[in-house]
Amino acid sequence: MNKWWYLTLGGIAGTLARYGLASAVYARTGADFPYGTLAVNSVGCFLIGCLAGFEERRHLLAPEVRLLLVIGFLGAFTTFSALIYESWRLLREGQAWLAGVNVAGTTLVGFVVFWLGTRLGNLVQ
């Protein structure tokens, strides 16, 4: 099967899982606080951590499985897990400073470009 199919199938499943989990959480907690997003990000980080630990000890993830689960499913489920995974890798490589910059920088830049986007969106009539 073509690699794009693995990405597509994983992405579809991840999108549906994200929507399903977040919706279920919001149905129980209400929307006063983003508990649904917190749940999705927490589950995504747990799952990518499990896969990273498994791969670290076993080295058994075939490229197709990595495309399907890590990039496709978890990429669509939550990109936050990718941020945490990449920062964890930097930390493990002895680059704690860069790990911190990655987390803080992504958050700060995200807020700034979001704000810029709202300004631009408000200009469009």
Q: Taking a C-beta distance cutoff of 8 angstroms, is the pair 79, 70 a contact?
A: no
Distance of alpha carbon 20 from alpha carbon 40, whole angstroms: 10
pLDDT digits 0-9 by tens, 67-121: 999 899 999 999 898 899 999 999 999 999 999 999 999 999 999 999 999 999 9
Chain-centroid distance of CA 24 in Å reads 19
* 39 contacts: CB under 8 Å, gap ≥ 6: 21, 22, 25
Structure pTM?
Answer: 0.82
pLDDT digits 0-9 by tens, 6-31: 999 999 999 999 999 999 999 999 99
